Amino acid sequence: MKSQFKLEKDFFIYEDEKDFDEIIRKFQSSNTVQLPVLSIDKHVVGVLCICDYVKCNCVKRAVNTKFASIQETEHIADFKNIDQEVFPFVNRFKKYIGFVRKADILKYIEIKRFKQAFNDKNKKELKFYRDIHSELNSILELSSDGIFITDGSGNVLRMNSACEKLDGVKKENIIGKNMDELVRTSMYSNSVALQVLEQGQRITVIQKVNNGKEVVSTGTPVFKDGKISMVVVNVRDVTELNNLKNQLKKANDISEKISFELETLRMQQMDTGNMILDSPAMKKIAQLALKVAKVSSTVLIEGESGVGKGVISKFIHNNSSRKEGPFIKIECSSIPENLLESELFGYEKGAFTGAERTGKIGLVELANGGTLFLDEIGEIPLNTQVKLLRLIQDREFLKIGGKTPIAVDIRIIAATNKDLRKLVAEKKFREDLFYRLNVIPVYIPPLRERKEALGSMILKNIEQFNEKYKMDKELDPEALKKLMNYKWPGNVRELENIMEMLVVTSTGRIIDIYDLPANIKESDEILSIAYGSSFKGIMDDYEKKILLKAMEESSNTQEMSKILDIDSSTIRRKLKKHNIKIAY
């Protein structure tokens, strides 16, 4: 019984008559008006009341020997009606353990009575909630969809049997664990519950679970006081549906592959002009050009000078339904501004002083039934751009001095090496014209970005010029290496010109490094910077290539140190750093 109370330990010794003030202080420190009085052997002899002590100033005379004490085995409620402020606690040997206040006994009895009433009420409520729990559990277990529930921290609280079967797991291995841990240990490929907790909204994801099945999981947050207290996840098997989708996708993939192979075969058998399709970029451009050739949409070809914009435009024309019609190329940058409009649209007789008496047909009209290729479109002046816009929109134009619109059936292809968007921003090119031209954009990368095709292009050009000039020239590997490392700022046009020059001017049958132009001989791609490279990595690579170059031009480390103007010990240390074995 003593475990129900915190026992006080204060007491007086019957035989030990203390000073008055000391006794009063003890009552005050104990915060009580009564204290037990013990014999020297710790047996309780009575209870001392402060009022009685003050009257007679003697413990022995004031002690009340008619008192009630409580043994550990007695029922505490039996003492509630006894007129006594404190009750000594004694053990089975009648020895003093401590005392308890009557107020604490009454409080204990009141609490016990309240608990009993509360428990009676709780039993009814508990039965009610148990019935609800049983019904809810039956609903969860009878559901054909998997259902599991996590708390607001992602810990799994519940899982029904359908979820066990769908996920291929056991409840005992899942319940109580955090979804983050289950994903980390590959029990699940991802967790919709964690995503719901992160984003605070309903989310649906496709998951691949432990048994290989694919399921659609929908997580719904349950809010309490503005925070997510639970996440309810509904799981549905979509494996069979996905199998059907995969079979359909495979059939579509096979169809696309056959179409691609037929398209590739068609490209191999058709005349591609000067296009070399050895690079993925150019193959992609050729495939796009073939698609574009089937329609009459306006095309804008962008790329640096010399990349082959004219070749692509001719390729589109030659593979279109207009291939039997004219292909009219207009070099917009080469025609003076004051003559450009008359060259494009022509003029009626007597349109201006110096005009031909019979008038003149413009290049646009000459392209009727075919393709009009406007090269360097960015060079067209603003006043001519207005007429060109009308031509693109309405497929008709007015000659200079003319009054009757002339309709034409043409396909327009424009090309530029300038940034038309920048020109639009600078008010040097009409925005509406840009959008009319940019229906199908085609970007041709510069030759330096097509390194994988560079070797084939070099060799094909040598082959073409050998055939043209009835020669049998070959290229030395070192010369090819130099050509491959060159940046080719003039792109394909520069490549063709240099290859023609080498075939024609090289002295022997083998074109070697000494036949190359000085700017190519002196160029070497020492430094190559890839996206995401660190500065230290770039400098280390640069340093290694410098060392290798110096090694080629020297016979020992002393000569290397002279070339690089650093001491031999530094040379040896750097060679070791880059794992370069000394070749001499």
Domain ranges of the chain: 2-109, 143-237, 280-443, 448-521, 535-577
Token pair belonging to 91: 């053990």
* Cβ neighbours around 352 below 10 Å, total: 10
For the 448-521 domain, the top CATH level (class) is mainly alpha
- Residue 230 contacts residue 150 (beta carbons within 8 Å): yes
Confidence of residue 389 (pLDDT cuts 50, 70, 90): very high
Give the pLDDT mean for 444-449.
85
- Mean of the pLDDT values across residues 564-580? 85
Q: Quick one: what percent of the chain has pLDDT higher than 70?
A: 89
Domain 2-109: give its CATH superfamily: CBS-domain (3.10.580.10)
Query: pLDDT higher for 228 or 263?
Result: 228
For the domain with range 143-237, which CATH number is right: 3.90.79.10, 1.10.10.10, 3.30.450.20, 3.30.300.130?
3.30.450.20
How high is the pLDDT of residue 287? 87
Give Rg (Cα) of the chain.
Answer: 50
**What integer is the mean pLDDT of 573-577?**
86
Q: Which pLDDT band holds residue 123 (cuts at 50, 70, 90)? A: confident
pLDDT tens-digit map of 450-499: 777 788 888 888 999 999 999 999 998 888 888 888 888 888 888 899 99
Q: Is the pLDDT of residue 570 over 90?
A: no
* Edge-to-edge strand ranges of the sheet holding 44-49: 12-13, 34-38, 44-49
Q: What is the mean pLDDT of residues 38-55?
A: 82
CA 303, 305, 307, 308: dihedral to nearest 10 degrees?
A: 100
Alpha helix (H) residue ranges in 276-430:
280-293, 309-318, 337-345, 363-366, 382-394, 420-425
- pLDDT bin (cut points 50, 70, 90) of residue 40 is confident
Q: pLDDT at position 526, please? A: 46
What is the mean pLDDT of the segment spanning 557-567?
Answer: 84
Beta-strand runs (E) in 52-202: 70-71, 86-90, 96-101, 146-151, 156-159
What's the rounded Cα separation, in Å, for the pair 28 and 17? 18
Does this model's pTM top 0.75? My answer is no
The owner of tokens 């052997």 is 41
Q: What are the structure tokens assigned to 549, written together?
A: 């170059």
pLDDT at 346 over 60: yes
Residue 530 has pLDDT above 70, yes or no: no
CB-based contact 36:11 (threshold 8 Å): yes
- In this predicted structure, the answer to whether residue 295 has a pLDDT above a threshold of 80 is yes
Q: How many CA atoms lie within 13 A of 184 on its CB side?
A: 6
User: Is 143-237's fold the same as 448-521's?
Assistant: no
Of 167-176, 475-484, 510-519, 531-540, least confident by mean pLDDT is 531-540
134 CB burial (10 A radius; 0-12, 13-18, 19+): exposed
Q: Where are the beta strands (DSSP E) in 464-526?
A: 474-475, 510-511
At the fourth CATH level, the homologous superfamily of domain 280-443 is: P-loop containing nucleotide triphosphate hydrolases (3.40.50.300)
515 or 18, higher pLDDT: 515
| Half-sphere CA count of 28, side-chain side, radius 13 A | 6
